[in-house]
Structure 1
C-alpha cells in the first residue's frame, strides 16, 4: 500500500467556499450554544430550582470537556471520513440543545452541556486541517478568517438576542431556536461538505511526537500566554468599565458592542495581514494588546471615550489572534495538522481556565487595574516568545530526529 502524501505535498484542491461557509455556520451555531447560558443564567436557575452558581456550572464545564475532546478526537476518529465526523458533531450539537431545552433539572442540564463540549472541542481540533483540504494553500488564511468570523457574530447574538428573546419567549424556547439553527447548519453541511477520507493514522502518541518537534513547545507556551492574558482581562472588562470608567448601562452596552464589532472586523482583516506576514501578525497583535493592557492600567478612567476606544482596539487586535495561530499550525506541521489543531484547542481551553483564575486572584489582591497590568504583562511575554523562538516554516519529523541526533525509521 502506498504511503499517503503529507498535506503540504498534495496538489492544491479546488477551492470549495460553500463548504467553508458551512463550517462557518458550524462555528456560529456551536459558539452561540456555548454562550447562551451566560445570558439566560437567572431564568434558567429559577426554572430548574437551582442556584445561579449551579447554573453557572453549565458554562464552566465547557473548558475541561472541550480540552479532552480536542486532544482525543483525532485518535478516536482516525479511520473515519472527516465529512462524517463533522456531520456527527453537528448531530451532537442538535442533541445537546434539545437535552438542555427539555432539562428537568441540573443533571440533565450538565449532560446537555457535556455533549455540546465534545462537539465543540472536536470541531475546533479538525477545523484548520479541514480548511487546508477545502482550499488552496494561498487561500488558507482568508478561509480561516471567514471561519473565525462566526465567533464574534455568535458571541454578540448569544449575549444580546439570548437575553432579549429569553425575556419574550422563555429560555427553553431560545434553546429550541438554537436547535433549529443547528438543524439548518447540518443540512447545509450535508449538501456542501465533500468526502474527506483520513490521510494517515493519527494515534494518540502522535500528539507527543508533534510536541517534540523543534519550536513547537515555544509556540504552545506563547499561545498559553497570549490567550491567558486576553481572558484574564476580558473576564473583568465589565468591572473595569463600571468601576474605573464609571460607565452607565447604555455606555457599557455600547462599548461591549463596539468590542464585538471591532473583533469581527479584526477577524476578517486577519487573512489580509497574514498573507503579507504571518510572523508579523503573530507579533503585533499581542504586542498591541499588551500595550493596551498597561495603558488601561495607568491611564484608565482618564476619559470614558478613551477607555471605550482602547477596549475596541483590543477587540480588533484579538480578532486576528485565533486566525493567526490556526494558520501557524497549518504551516509548521502541515503533515499533522489535525493533531496540531488538537494541541491548539487544548492550549486555548487551558488558557481560558487559567486566565479566569489568574484574573480572579489578581482582582482580589490589587483590583481591576492590577488585572489590566497582569494581562498586559502576559501578552507582552507572549509577543517576546514569538520573536525569540516561534517558527513559521514547516518543521518535519525528520527535523525532530536530526535535532535529537538520532536516525529516523
Structure 2
C-alpha cells in the first residue's frame, strides 16, 4: 500500500519535467520561467516536511499520510483547472505542501517497523514504487505535452490516481500498526523536536549531503528533456522517454539492492555512485547522438540510488525516537536543494546554455560522494 502511494507521489515529482516546453509554449514564457512549477512544488514540499514529520510522530504516520493523499487529490485537480500560469504556480505550492506527507512518512514508518540490517533492502522495495512513479510521471509528462490534453490532462490523471490510493489506504488504516505516538507539551514542542535532531552531528552530515544531492543532481535533471528537445529536435515525448530510463536504472538497483549491500557495503556504494553520476553528466554533454542519452540515463539512475538509498537508510537511524521528524528534515534538505538547483539550472540554461547545466554536476557530484564515503569510514572507526 505504501508503495502504491509512493508511485503517485513519485509521478507528481517528475510530471512537469516533460511539460516545461509545453507550458512555455502555452503561456509564451521561457523554459527557465516555466521551471517555476517545479521550483515552487519542491520548495513547498521541502518546507512542509517540518510540519508533517512532527505530526506523524505525534498522531501516527499512516493516519497523517492518508490525510495528505486526499489533499493531493484536491490540489492536483485544482492545478488541472488553473486559469493561468500565475494561478498554476500558486496551486503547485499547495500541491507540494500536501505531497510532503507521503513518501517521507512511509520511509519513517518502515524505520519504525524493520530492523536496520534489513532496512536498506526493504526501503529498496518501497523505492520500486517511487521510481516506477517517477518513470511513469516523466514519460507521461512528455506524452501529454504532445497531445491536445496537455498539462491539464496530466494533472487530472494524477488526481484520479490519488483518489484511488487514498480510498484504499483509508480502508486499511485501522489494520496498519505504527509506533507509539510521541507526546510533548508546549507550543514550541515541534521546534524542540527539530532542534533535537539537528543537535546530532551525524544527522547534520547526512542532511548536508542530501541537500547537495538535490542541488547538484535533481535541479539539472529537470531540464534534461528540454535540453534534448532543443539540441536534437526530439519530440517532447521522445526526450522524456529517454530520460525516464533514469528511474528504470533506479528500479534495477532496487531489484538487486540486497545483493549489492552485502557485496559492496555502504562506503563503496557511495563512492562508486558518485563516480557513475559524474561520468553520466559528462556523457550527456559530449554525446554526438540523441539515443545515447537513454543508456546513460539508465546507468546514472543506478548510480544515483547506490548513493541515495544509503543516505535514506542512514537517515532512518539519525534519531530513532523522532524518526518522523528526522525524515522530515532529510526531505526538507533534499527538496529545498532541488528547488535551489532548479532555479540555478533554469537561470544557467536561459543565459549560458547547457555547458554549466551538465559540467558542474559532473565535477561536484563525485566530490560530494567521496566526502560522504569518508564520513562513513570515520563513523565506522569511531
- Partners of 1:152 and 1:317 in 2: CA distance: 14
Name the residue aligned to 2:261.
Answer: 274
Matched, 1:84 2:63: yes
**Contact 2:19-2:141 within 8 A present in 1 as well:** yes
- Partners of 2:148 and 2:349 in 1: CA distance: 35
- Partners of 1:45 and 1:195 in 2: CA distance: 46
* CA distance 1:212–1:94, change in 2 (3 Å): same
Matched, 1:178 2:158: yes
- Partners of 1:227 and 1:312 in 2: CA distance: 19
Name the residue aligned to 2:313.
Answer: 327
- Of 103, 108, 121 in structure 1, the residue corresponding to residue 82 of structure 2 is 103
Name the residue aligned to 1:14.
Answer: none
Name the residue aligned to 1:191.
Answer: 171
- Of 180, 192, 197 in structure 2, the residue corresponding to residue 210 of structure 1 is 197
**Contact 2:121-2:257 within 8 A present in 1 as well:** yes
- SS of the residue corresponding to residue 289 of structure 1 reads helix
- Of 99, 117, 121 in structure 1, the residue corresponding to residue 100 of structure 2 is 121
Where do residues 283-302 of structure 1 align in structure 2 (5 Å cutoff)? Answer: 283-294=271-282, 300-301=286-287
- SS of the residue corresponding to residue 317 of structure 1 reads helix
Using the TM superposition, give the Cα deviation of residue 207 of structure 1 relative to its aligned residue in structure 2, in angstroms: 1.9
- Partners of 2:287 and 2:151 in 1: CA distance: 36
* CA distance 1:382–1:169, change in 2 (3 Å): closer
CA deviation map 1:181-238 (0-9, x unaligned)? 1121112212334142414546322222222213332222222233322135424434
- Alignment gaps of 5+ in structure 2: none
- SS of the residue corresponding to residue 149 of structure 1 reads helix
Once the two structures are overlaid, the 10-residue window that deviates more, 266-275 or 280-289, is 266-275
**Contact 1:99-1:112 within 8 A present in 2 as well:** yes
**Contact 1:124-1:345 within 8 A present in 2 as well:** no
* CA distance 1:170–1:64, change in 2 (3 Å): closer
Matched, 1:237 2:221: no
* CA distance 1:338–1:105, change in 2 (3 Å): same
Structure (1/2) with the larger helix percentage: 2
Matched, 1:256 2:243: yes
- Partners of 1:291 and 1:35 in 2: CA distance: 23
Once the two structures are overlaid, the 10-residue window that deviates more, 156-165 or 370-379, is 156-165
- Of 220, 228, 250 in structure 1, the residue corresponding to residue 207 of structure 2 is 220
Using the TM superposition, give the Cα deviation of residue 137 of structure 1 relative to its aligned residue in structure 2, in angstroms: 3.8
**Contact 1:265-1:319 within 8 A present in 2 as well:** no
Once the two structures are overlaid, the 10-residue window that deviates more, 347-356 or 155-164, is 155-164
CA deviation map 1:231-262 (0-9, x unaligned)? 35424434665677x57559746632433422
* CA distance 1:199–1:305, change in 2 (3 Å): same
CA deviation map 1:247-283 (0-9, x unaligned)? 7559746632433422322343334433552333233
More relative contact order, 1 or 2 (CA 8 Å, 6+ apart):
2
- SS of the residue corresponding to residue 71 of structure 1 reads helix
- Partners of 2:318 and 2:58 in 1: CA distance: 24
- Alignment gaps of 5+ in structure 1: 1-21, 400-409
**Contact 2:108-2:316 within 8 A present in 1 as well:** yes
Point out the structure with max Rg over C-alpha.
1
* CA distance 1:271–1:328, change in 2 (3 Å): farther
- SS of the residue corresponding to residue 104 of structure 2 reads helix
Using the TM superposition, give the Cα deviation of residue 96 of structure 1 relative to its aligned residue in structure 2, in angstroms: 0.9
Name the residue aligned to 2:2.
Answer: 23
**Contact 2:280-2:300 within 8 A present in 1 as well:** yes
**Contact 1:286-1:380 within 8 A present in 2 as well:** yes
- Partners of 1:33 and 1:360 in 2: CA distance: 20
Once the two structures are overlaid, the 10-residue window that deviates more, 316-325 or 80-89, is 316-325
Using the TM superposition, give the Cα deviation of residue 329 of structure 1 relative to its aligned residue in structure 2, in angstroms: 1.0
Matched, 1:318 2:304: yes
**Contact 1:218-1:385 within 8 A present in 2 as well:** no
Matched, 1:388 2:368: no
Question: What TM-score do you get using the length of structure 2 for normalisation?
Answer: 0.80
* CA distance 1:257–1:83, change in 2 (3 Å): closer
Name the residue aligned to 2:132.
Answer: 153
Using the TM superposition, give the Cα deviation of residue 170 of structure 1 relative to its aligned residue in structure 2, in angstroms: 6.2
- Partners of 1:324 and 1:231 in 2: CA distance: 17
Name the residue aligned to 2:54.
Answer: 75
Question: What TM-score do you get using the length of structure 1 for normalisation?
Answer: 0.76
